Amino acid sequence: MSAIFLVDDDRDVRESLQWMLEAKGMQAEGFDCADAFLNAMDPDQVGVAILDIEMPGLDGLALQQELNRRGSLLSVIILTGHANVPRAVAALKAGALDFLEKPVEGERLLPLIERGLKASRERQQEDSLAGDWETRVAQLTERENQLMQLVVEGKTNKEICDKLFIAQRTVEIHRANLLKKMGVKNAAELAFLVGRNRK
């Protein structure tokens, strides 16, 4: 389930943003410091974190780095009343969606939140696909792994026979098992899957 988190030591800012988001039908949860947020968050949570830069303890940029270190799926938007170019560059380089000055208008913030929710869901899906990939590869025998590399290189069954010193019928059996275990119908689908997971 997607969520929006507001991390800002300024209670008025938290409450005004929460009110604005709830008026748009969005659920938001507020935290007055980075530690409280980190203690409550689930690393697999999908959503958007809106972080203030100037906070006691970990500031917004340090919190963003900690979220990255933990492999958080959350999209990050940085809010500040003290904007400067180095901070903005640092936030964007670390993957923030945007770096906004307070007070922020709903017309500017809401589309960013929508974009952030979408990006966070996509990261979750990519993680899930990567997990599926690892599970499938782990099921392959050593011979099927060798065969996969050769199939992806576009080798014919005859070429694979010569390379692995095995009979054509054996190659056909291994190829059928390989495609079944990898959940694909042909060599082209297998090559696409391998290419996507090598990125």
Q: What is the pLDDT of residue 199?
A: 58
Q: What is the pLDDT of residue 104?
A: 87
DSSP reduced 3-state for 165: coil
Whether the pLDDT of residue 83 is over 80: the answer is: no
State phi, psi for 178 to the nearest 5 degrees: -60, -50
pTM of the model: 0.70
Q: What is the pLDDT of residue 10?
A: 93
Could you tell me the pLDDT band of residue 106, with boundaries at 50, 70 and 90? Answer: confident
Could you tell me the pLDDT band of residue 1, with boundaries at 50, 70 and 90? Answer: low
Average pLDDT over residues 127-149: 89
Could you tell me the pLDDT band of residue 125, with boundaries at 50, 70 and 90? Answer: confident
Q: Give the contacts of 41 (CB within 8 A, at least 6 positions apart).
A: 5, 72, 74
CB 38 within 8 A of CB 51: no
